[in-house]
């Protein structure tokens, strides 16, 4: 699914890493905003994320199919209440084709590392492709691998201290223009992750609008905003079943829950509907 050169700029302004529901959903929103200067980098030979990779017998979603779908692309033809792997995979490929994002996917391109170039105010992204390593520049990125931000901040090292931490599972202090989807504390045990993904897509889209409106080059989350948000989040978590005494993979060794959202999905949707510009520092 490597796109034609005419559909993909040589140096994309936005790099999307991965082509599961999050990557495809973000790409569709960018096109709806009139933004075409992006590339989706996919390590595998096809799109699909977890629904491409997990093909074991009986693989299916534990959320009803009509909820586990994009809100803008309902599928009245689901064959069962809880969709199986093949059907969900086919649905995601259908969405990529229908909305034209498949032309922007570059397969067999594994992102190896990225670091923020403070002098140029851009992200340098290293990609392993067909046995060779390439470097590209991007203004906006998001990825779960070796990431180096301002002043040499090492995201992996930071998260090893006591688990991953972010703001609304999307932004991280000292990593300008770095946005994640399904980041820390966005997981659910009671609803559809597609709802959470769409909420984060909306938030990132609003970040791009704010950058454009302010004519800024970068936006960097304030550390105190991230710290206060996570302090409140962990306090809310104390009222949940996730810290009731049973240790699980949702927690770090210290007991801190880093995977799950502690409240209702509609409360997350409300928080991510609009960016609060004062949460960030902007640079021209």
Structural tokens at position 172: 């991280």
* pLDDT single digits (tens) 152-179: 999 999 999 889 999 999 999 999 999 9
Structural tokens at position 17: 């890493």
The whole-number average pLDDT for the span 69-94 is 97
Range of the domain at 75: 5-273
State the total domains in the chain.
Answer: 1
The whole-number average pLDDT for the span 139-156 is 84
Q: How many CB atoms lie within 10 A of CB 65?
A: 22
With bands split at pLDDT 50, 70 and 90, how would you rate the model's confidence at 141?
A: low
With bands split at pLDDT 50, 70 and 90, how would you rate the model's confidence at 73?
A: very high
The DSSP element (H or E) to which 162 belongs, if any, is: helix 155-162
Question: Helices (H) and strands (E) in the chain — how many of each?
Answer: 7, 9
Residue 10 falls within a domain, yes or no?
A: yes
At 104, which CATH number?
3.50.50.60
Residue 283 falls within a domain, yes or no?
A: no
CA 88 – CA 240 distance, rounded (Å): 31
* pLDDT single digits (tens) 243-265: 888 888 888 988 899 999 999 99
pTM score: 0.93
Q: Quick one: what percent of the chain has pLDDT higher than 70?
A: 94
Structural tokens at position 136: 């590209």
14, pLDDT greater than 60: yes
The DSSP element (H or E) to which 229 belongs, if any, is: helix 223-237
**277 by DSSP, 3-state: which?**
helix
Residue 154 falls within a domain, yes or no?
A: yes
Q: CA distances (Å), 76 to each of 66, 80, 157, 254, in order?
A: 8, 11, 45, 45
Return the pLDDT at 98. 98
Q: Quick one: what percent of the chain has pLDDT higher than 90?
A: 82
Residue 115 falls within a domain, yes or no?
A: yes
Residue 252 falls within a domain, yes or no?
A: yes
110, pLDDT greater than 70: yes
6, pLDDT greater than 50: no
Residue 86 falls within a domain, yes or no?
A: yes
The DSSP element (H or E) to which 96 belongs, if any, is: helix 85-98
Closest CA to 148 of 169, 182, 174, 187: 174
Residue 279 falls within a domain, yes or no?
A: no
Residue 282 falls within a domain, yes or no?
A: no
Instruction: Classify 151 in phi/psi space as left (phi over 0), alpha (psi -120 to 50) or beta.
Output: left
4, pLDDT greater than 50: no
Neighbour-count burial for 12-37, b at 16+ CB within 10 Å, e otherwise:
bbbbbbbbbbbbbbbbbbbeeeebbe
* pLDDT single digits (tens) 197-214: 999 999 999 999 999 999
* pLDDT single digits (tens) 42-59: 999 999 999 999 999 999
Instruction: Classify 134 in phi/psi space as left (phi over 0), alpha (psi -120 to 50) or beta.
Output: beta
């Amino acid at each position: 699914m490597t796109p034609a050169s005419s559909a993909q700029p040589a140096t994309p302004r936005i790099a999307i890493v991965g082509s599961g529901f999050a990557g495809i959903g973000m790409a569709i929103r960018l096109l709806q905003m009139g933004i075409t200067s992006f590339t989706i980098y996919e390590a595998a030979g096809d799109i699909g994320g977890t629904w491409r990779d997990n093909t074991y017998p009986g693989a299916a979603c534990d959320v009803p199919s009509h909820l586990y779908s994009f809100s803008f692309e309902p599928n009245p033809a689901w064959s069962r209440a809880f969709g199986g792997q093949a059907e969900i995979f086919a649905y995601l490929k259908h969405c990529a084709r229908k909305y034209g994002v498949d032309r922007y996917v570059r397969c067999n391109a594994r992102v190896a590392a990225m670091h923020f170039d403070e002098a140029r105010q851009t992200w340098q992204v290293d990609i392993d492709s067909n046995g060779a390593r390439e470097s590209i520049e991007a203004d906006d990125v998001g990825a779960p691998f070796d990431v180096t931000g301002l002043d040499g901040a090492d995201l992996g090292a930071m998260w090893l201290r006591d688990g991953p931490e972010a703001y609304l599972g999307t932004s991280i202090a000292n990593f300008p223009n770095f946005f994640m989807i399904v980041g820390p504390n966005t997981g659910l045990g009671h609803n559809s992750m597609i709802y959470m993904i769409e909420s984060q897509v909306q938030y990132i889209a609003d970040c791009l609008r704010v950058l454009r409106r302010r004519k800024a080059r970068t936006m960097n989350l304030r550390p105190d905003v991230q710290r206060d948000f996570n302090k409140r989040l962990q306090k809310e978590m104390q009222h949940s079943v996730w810290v009731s005494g049973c240790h699980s993979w949702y927690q770090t060794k210290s007991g801190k829950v880093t995977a799950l959202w502690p409240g209702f999905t509609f409360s997350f949707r409300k928080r991510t509907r609009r960016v609060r510009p004062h949460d960030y520092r902007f640079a021209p």
